[in-house]
A and B are shown apart, each in its own frame.
Chain A
């Protein structure tokens, strides 16, 4: 199988590392060669962060370059737009519609672009957008945005439900498992 590429983007501290961990675990158990590349340190302090997940028969590079991503999974809509040039022609976007103002917007030095989802759709891009924060709160914690997104992403994969559940179980603390299962279901069955 040709290598498939996923990028997970968001704002430092939103929980992308856990999402990539669950995804990596799942894909390895499906028998794929997998590489996941993360960035730690300075960028985690509220900066723009990107995590790469690649899987296939044999994966070499740990990073996804421009025009290569089959999926963009995004925690924040401005970040979706920032990393859009990574998307492959025909690639799928799964994004949270939440807006988090970056410091240049807060200080008034820059403006937060409007109607990003509509603009992307107008370009013919496949955008699956939803308010993951509300769904995460519905599941019991606003921190579960990452799992809501994974639930939505599972929609586009031909991987059995119990394999996702197993990976979830292996990577989240037992006391939060039920909450995360609920978040996963809410994301998976969301109707846009």
Chain B
């Protein structure tokens, strides 16, 4: 049966058909929907783990127990899971183990543009790279075969355009292979004596995988012309076909690690001009060069950002249409905190106190954009706390009274806890604000260990943040409602003044959660409004100035009332009947 399917959903369908029994992941754009879609199959146990490292270790345990297992994450998530990954290449697997890493060329929703193919090379594991949804499904099933055939974890590399594009797939049946666990200390206990014996196995496996890569039908030469030959993979293949159709020869690589030297040499011998078209780094190009073959690539194509058909056409000297425009300057529309976002009130309080705010990864990163412009650092998951600790250790009294770390509930569970352990252990006088909106927000509402629900929305274990923080030895812990500006301001003032580590939990559920009941929108009494723009300081998308007076867009306002606390004339009124 044919279906139009999102690339990520096609991976989930592949997991189902491959008989996968266990999925553990941490959400991250553009990978999140794989696990969400897999969770819709009752036959697959699925969970959100606290972070990618725990997720991959859990998936490994399931493989060890004899059932096919999966772990999905975005590119930076694989950095977190890299530790188990590198040694899993040594132990190998029992039942098949497949990892998806979803890169984000173009940084639609990421803090960097790293090329995850380097992980496959460095960890010495095979990597497949689908170019549309049909391949995403097919390659997922193939990845489990390769995993079990070669006794290795296999990585499937996605990118935003494959993960978040829908194309037509053909679906099949589910088959569940089973294995049993057998104790094997020499294979699974990676202490030096055993690991030394496993490393040659890894090297031999890679040689066998090269043989496989030479023959696998997912690496295929489409010979149409002797003039230009293009080596490509992933979504770049689609752009190449869009521009050139069948007018050039193409070596389409479905397996990008290890690469097939003989296949490449043979293809190169059939064309006059050889070009590698690959997004981000020159991974394939450098390999081709290492074979002593003359090849082009990054001399005509960028190492930055994602590609498109026009970009490739231009790089090959073809003309493209410019398109029409209006003369007006079009103002940018950057993402903003939603109307009613519970983070807004807290960031206003931090701005008012002129705090140095070291931030983290989540919706609240938007606290860095005008008019709040409050966050001064965003690095990676959990870094807010570690950085604040180091910052305060160096600057001491100069920074302790005005510097805070802000971190979301899910990010805190992911890798903020260890940072706080360092604050508690090495005693920096740091103030940490946990923005507890009772969900993982930015990636589209996933449950986490503090919400009390599992991936299916059923009741689950619930970690109490206050108790956890206290157990680490932080004595000053308080909870505030970020809709209450007075309360927020008092808490920030007092905790920054305290001469010991402290934690403020700013607690209110995300305004977009379905169960959150909103008040009717507010309206402005134009008689009372003096146009002082005090309410504009919070950067609420529902408030604008019309004819010198504040105006509330009733389609966006959720009646949170933060603006009315700033109005000196009490001009905001409820529209409640």
Contacts and interface: CB of A to CB of B under 8 A. Distances in A.
Interface of A: 11-13, 21, 24-25, 28, 33-48, 59-63, 65-68, 78-79, 81-82, 84-89, 100-113, 116, 119-120, 123, 125, 133, 142
22 contacts: A35-B166, A36-B166, A40-B444, A41-B444, A42-B108, A42-B442, A43-B335, A46-B336, A47-B334, A48-B332, A60-B242, A61-B238, A61-B308, A61-B309, A62-B162, A63-B161, A85-B322, A103-B370, A103-B541, A106-B543, A120-B326, A123-B326
Interface residues of B, number: 61
Interface string B106-123: 001100000000000000
B292 interface: no
Given A42-B108, A46-B338, A65 B370 contact: no
A45 B168 contact: no
Contacts of A45: 335-338, 363, 366, 442
A25 B239 contact: no
B31 to A, nearest CB: 10
Given A36-B165, A40-B444, A62-B167, A111 B323 contact: no
Contact of A67 (B320, B363, B370): B320
Contacts of A133: 555
Contacts of B242: 60-61
Nearest to B543: A106
Interface of B: 2, 4, 6, 29-30, 32-33, 108-109, 132, 160-162, 164-168, 235, 238-239, 241-242, 308-310, 320-338, 363, 366, 369-371, 442-444, 536, 539, 541, 543-545, 553, 555
B572 to A, nearest CB: 16
Contacts of B239: 60-61
A82 to B, nearest CB: 5
A123 B326 CA distance: 8
Given A11-B333, A61-B309, A66-B310, A43 B235 contact: no
Given A41-B108, A44-B335, A61-B309, A81 B328 contact: yes
Contacts of B160: 39
B326 A119 contact: yes
Given A45-B363, A61-B308, A82-B333, A40 B322 contact: no
B341 to A, nearest CB: 9
B165 A39 contact: no
A18 B164 CA distance: 14
Given A35-B165, A65-B308, A67-B323, A103 B330 contact: no
Nearest to A101: B544
Nearest to B371: A107
B371 A39 contact: no
Contact of A66 (B320, B328, B335, B443): B320
Which 9 residue pairs of A and B lie closest in terms of their CB atoms, listed nearest first? A67-B321, A41-B109, A85-B323, A41-B29, A47-B335, A113-B328, A110-B331, A102-B333, A62-B165
Given A37-B164, A66-B322, A103 B369 contact: yes
Nearest to A122: B326
A26 to B, nearest CB: 10
A38 B539 contact: no
Contacts of B338: 13, 45-46
A78 B4 contact: no
Contact of B326 (A36, A37, A106, A116): A116
Given A63-B308, A66-B310, A39 B332 contact: no
Given A24-B166, A40-B109, A110 B332 contact: yes
B4 A42 contact: no
Most buried by A among B2, B33, B164, B444: B164
Given A102-B333, A103-B541, 17 more contacts: A33-B168, A34-B167, A42-B29, A42-B108, A61-B309, A63-B309, A66-B323, A100-B541, A101-B541, A101-B544, A107-B370, A107-B371, A109-B331, A110-B332, A113-B331, A119-B326, A125-B324
